[in-house]
Amino acid sequence: MKRRNFLKLSASACAALAALELGDRPVFKAAYAKARQAKTSLPGSLGAKETPSVCEMCFWRCPIVGKVKEGKLVKIEGNPKSPANGPRVCARGNSGVQLLYDPDRIKYPLKRTGARGEGKWARISWDEALDEVAHNLIKVKEKYGPHALAYFDHGASAEFMRDIFKTLGTENYTNEPAFYQCVGPAALAYLMTYGYITTGTRQYVDMKHAKAMLLIGTHIGENVHVSHVREFIEGLSNGAKLVVVDPRFSAAAAKADIYLPIRPGTDTALLLAWTNFIITEGLYDKDFVERNCSGFHELKKAVKDYTLNWAAPICDLPVTDMKRAILLLAKNSPNVSIHPGRHSTWYGRGDTSRHQALAILAALFGAVGVKGGLYFPTPVKKGHLSFGCAEEEPETPKKSLSEDYYPFASTFGSPTSKIIQATRTGKPYPVKLWGINGVNIIQTIPNPYQTMEAIKKLDFIFCEEILPTETAIWSDIVLPGATYLERYDTVYTYDLLTPYLTVRQPVVKPMFETKSSFWIARELAKRAGLKCFNYNNEVEFIEEELKGAGLTLKSLNEKGGIVTYKANPYRDPKKLKVATEEGKIMLSIEDFADEDLDPIPKFIPTPAPPKGYVRLVYGRSPVHTFTRTMNNKWLHNEAPENHLWLNDKVAKKAGIKDGEEVVLENQDGYRSWPIKVKVTPGIRPDTAFMPHGFGSRSKLLSKAYKQGASDQFMITEYEDDPFMGASSHRTNFIRIVKAGRVIDLPELCPPPKEIPRFSAKKTRTGGK
């Protein structure tokens, strides 16, 4: 080039440039690859390098393959060798590409420079970020004692950092919102009845081979877990009959033979009336119960007053329909899937009992260990890992946040509501540091206003995050986590009807300065002076786990990244032995009685809506996983905002039209962001429904911010489950604000006298 005359540089400019040292980092090197010739390159994902791995767009963990071309992920498909999902993934599984390449991602370690919640950061180095977190962990522990540290986590990769908190000696080393805001009550009920967690992350219910199924509030199809939905649909296509109990005409209800639009909060009344009915009518499996169950006589006595006639006004269901439904299930027993449910933190009191009642119903039908019923996991063998972190449980403080409040909490950690309370009030002891990993706590735990208030009281808060969520913007230090597509995790085994073993491995190298959870935890432990994590990297411990299964990473990958095993889900009812202390299915749970809790479920009504309000319930959008996927472009395009389902008769009387934009006001006077109304006969007049996860309050999420309304910000009133301290989410009520005017909603199905009405402490109005 010769003619650069357009720019006249002075002598001093030339001198300044000549003198400049621009560091010595090489930006370019000689290329080995050749430029792609547009004509010769294969279209789409053809010719891509395929790496088997495991999806984490939700926590079902479907085996996948990532297809990579020139270092770029171009497509995700199901692993064709997977016996569970095969080549299929759901909409979210497909959209992992958009998470990986989302420009809004957290790219570097960040340090807060503005106020908490403002989201103003400066990029810092990993050294500085890790040193600061480690320094604060030690400082807070020394000043207030180990229990002042609390950790909120979700997902397998968050477990590495859990070990740090445990090793530091806090009893609050795990406060999984996934447990205390989701599966807790159901998991406990089944653990105590059957000796294993029939429902938690997974549901061991054989819908594929069922002759009839019962779903209570479970909306499979809107809640998408690929193999679970497939088994449900296979069951239906094989001719299974379906009973759906739900205040809302869900996707599953649309496929039901009998749909019971129950009054919310009365499911246990229905279940106990059914239990009594099948006992008195002799429709239960006497042999099975006699041989395998304990506590039948106590049960029989406890439920004798719960008749269908008693239940009818409470549940707001006709006796004939309730009877038809239970007869249909009885006729097909024992091959009936009494679905154990999953998300069960609904009303606080009575949540564990409701799932206990479901567990009992399955046992009375003998629908356990048989085709179509509940079944047993098939454990897949793998090597045991010893990270060298604290193996012992930390010493319990004088007053424990866990077992001193709720007798069955400690098995699962400390209830989130208690951590937040202790942080806010300093009682029974101060909590001064929070670590958060894999969960957006502000959009997950009831009463986000209290959560934010608690955060303001902390000495220090940090998180590992992929996206700048509400939780990230409240953190002092944000550690950029690699997505599931950029990291290894541990070996995953699937112990359901089609057992397999697979491993999550990176399909591309991490973007920006993001790091794997194991790397972060290990570095942090080192800096906090903890003896933890004996392995140098993930591959080392993965090899150890695989050794236990007679595999290596290489041999596993040669087999397509997955190996399958034969399932052992069923049992001979004559030789059934379950893992409870007695070896029997517990129809009456003495351990509950020992703690002054009901050993057999009772119906405890949850208060009905105050006049002018309807109950707010929520559920899943089929293309989203909570708030986690809201900023994902493809998924956002599919479902950009949520709608409020409102009963058509109620809407007509209140003068609200379909598609109209309104604001919701809850019983405590808190107002939502604008949301459009879906007017439909598919919901009861005393209930309103909205899909969960929308209405993000983080402006850094450019696609999700302010799209629809957040149900979580309407959930300010909650009650803890007395068994294990999970917090209720369906104990809130809304009315409508249209064009600034508050509209009381008409009451079209008033509660019977057995159900008290909710009385607000003091109903505030107007703009919160």
226 binds, among ligand SF4, another protein, none (CB under 5 to 8 A by kind): ligand SF4
Q: Pairing mode, if any, of strands 643-647 and 675-680?
A: parallel
324 binds, among another protein, ligand SF4, none (CB under 5 to 8 A by kind): none
Residue 236 and residue 252 in contact, taking contact as beta carbons nearer than 8 Å = no
Decide if residue 183 touches ligand SF4 (CB under 6 A). no
Pick the binder of ligand SF4 from 65, 73, 77, 92 (CB under 6 A). 92
The CA–CA distances, whole Å, from 241 to 117, 238, 247, 528 equal 50, 9, 20, 57
405 binds, among ligand SF4, another protein, none (CB under 5 to 8 A by kind): none
The CA–CA distances, whole Å, from 714 to 446, 616, 618, 670 equal 9, 8, 11, 7
Query: Which residues ranging from 442 to 481 are in contact with another protein (CB under 8 A)?
Result: 468, 473
CB 504, min distance to ligand SF4, A: 11
| Rounded Cα–Cα distance for residues 429 and 421 (Å) | 10
Decide if residue 12 touches another protein (CB under 8 A). yes
| Rounded Cα–Cα distance for residues 262 and 253 (Å) | 12
89 binds, among another protein, ligand SF4, none (CB under 5 to 8 A by kind): ligand SF4
For 683, other C-beta atoms within 10 Å of its C-beta total 25
Decide if residue 96 touches another protein (CB under 8 A). no
CA atoms within 13 A on the CB side of 184: 35
| Rounded Cα–Cα distance for residues 649 and 558 (Å) | 61
CB 57, min distance to ligand SF4, A: 4
Segment lying near another protein (by CB under 8 A), choices 245-253, 281-289, 415-423, 505-513: 505-513
Pick the binder of ligand SF4 from 162, 211, 225, 584 (CB under 6 A). 225
Longest CA pairwise span in the chain (Å): 104
3-state class of 489 per DSSP?
coil
Decide if residue 73 touches another protein (CB under 8 A). yes
Decide if residue 1 touches another protein (CB under 8 A). yes
The CA–CA distances, whole Å, from 113 to 128, 140, 474, 747 equal 14, 21, 11, 50
Decide if residue 40 touches another protein (CB under 8 A). no
572 binds, among ligand SF4, another protein, none (CB under 5 to 8 A by kind): none
Pick the binder of another protein from 45, 104, 452, 527 (CB under 8 A). 104
Decide if residue 2 touches another protein (CB under 8 A). yes
Decide if residue 308 touches ligand SF4 (CB under 6 A). no
Decide if residue 39 touches another protein (CB under 8 A). no
Backbone angles phi, psi at 148, to 5 degrees: -75, -5
| Rounded Cα–Cα distance for residues 138 and 142 (Å) | 6
Residue 100 and residue 508 in contact, taking contact as beta carbons nearer than 8 Å = yes
| Rounded Cα–Cα distance for residues 634 and 636 (Å) | 5
- Residue linked to tokens 């957040």: 710
Q: Which is nearer to another protein, 9 or 593 (CB)?
A: 9
57 binds, among another protein, ligand SF4, none (CB under 5 to 8 A by kind): ligand SF4
| Rounded Cα–Cα distance for residues 493 and 174 (Å) | 22
Pick the binder of another protein from 59, 80, 107, 653 (CB under 8 A). 107
CB 143, min distance to ligand SF4, A: 42
Decide if residue 630 touches ligand SF4 (CB under 6 A). no
Decide if residue 381 touches another protein (CB under 8 A). no
Q: Which is nearer to another protein, 106 or 362 (CB)?
A: 106
Closest CA to 260 of 221, 216, 220: 216
Q: Which is nearer to ligand SF4, 421 or 502 (CB)?
A: 502
Decide if residue 705 touches another protein (CB under 8 A). yes
| Rounded Cα–Cα distance for residues 298 and 712 (Å) | 40
Residue 142 β-bridge partners = none
Backbone angles phi, psi at 110, to 5 degrees: -125, 145
The H-assigned helical ranges of 265-388 are 267-280, 286-292, 296-302, 308-315, 319-331, 351-364
Query: Which residues ranging from 301 to 320 are in contact with another protein (CB under 8 A)?
Result: none
Binding residues with another protein: total (CB under 8 A): 65
Q: Pairing mode, if any, of strands 733-738 and 741-743?
A: antiparallel
Pair of tokens at residue 251 = 């996707």
CB 434, min distance to another protein, A: 20
CB 68, min distance to another protein, A: 11
Kindly write out the interface string for residues 200-219 of this chain, putting x where it contacts ligand SF4 by CB under 6 A and - elsewhere. --------------------
Decide if residue 572 touches another protein (CB under 8 A). no
CB 336, min distance to ligand SF4, A: 25
61 binds, among ligand SF4, another protein, none (CB under 5 to 8 A by kind): ligand SF4
Decide if residue 103 touches another protein (CB under 8 A). yes
Question: CA 66, 69, 72 angle in degrees (round to 5)?
Answer: 75
Pick the binder of another protein from 47, 113, 305, 744 (CB under 8 A). 113
Closest CA to 343 of 158, 230, 183: 183
Closest CA to 497 of 360, 372, 332: 372
Pick the binder of ligand SF4 from 129, 226, 445, 466 (CB under 6 A). 226
Segment lying near ligand SF4 (by CB under 6 A), choices 55-63, 233-241, 590-598, 754-762: 55-63
The CA–CA distances, whole Å, from 14 to 4, 9, 10, 20, 389 equal 14, 6, 6, 10, 59
Residue 706 and residue 696 in contact, taking contact as beta carbons nearer than 8 Å = yes
Query: Which residues ranging from 125 to 164 are in contact with another protein (CB under 8 A)?
Result: none
| Rounded Cα–Cα distance for residues 632 and 102 (Å) | 7
Backbone angles phi, psi at 111, to 5 degrees: -120, 135
3-state class of 477 per DSSP?
strand
62 binds, among another protein, ligand SF4, none (CB under 5 to 8 A by kind): ligand SF4
- Residue linked to tokens 């097909």: 332
381 binds, among ligand SF4, another protein, none (CB under 5 to 8 A by kind): none
Residue 687 β-bridge partners = 615
CB 64, min distance to ligand SF4, A: 7
Pick the binder of another protein from 21, 392, 572, 596 (CB under 8 A). 21
Decide if residue 99 touches ligand SF4 (CB under 6 A). no
Decide if residue 224 touches ligand SF4 (CB under 6 A). yes
Residue 162 and residue 173 in contact, taking contact as beta carbons nearer than 8 Å = yes
CB 71, min distance to another protein, A: 9
Pick the binder of another protein from 46, 87, 120, 581 (CB under 8 A). 120
- Judged by the rule CB under 6 A, the positions of this chain that interact with ligand SF4 are 55, 57-58, 60-62, 89-90, 92-93, 224-226
- Judged by the rule CB under 8 A, the positions of this chain that interact with another protein are 1-10, 12-14, 16-23, 25-36, 70, 72-73, 98, 100-104, 106-108, 110, 113-114, 118-123, 468, 473, 511-513, 633, 699-702, 705
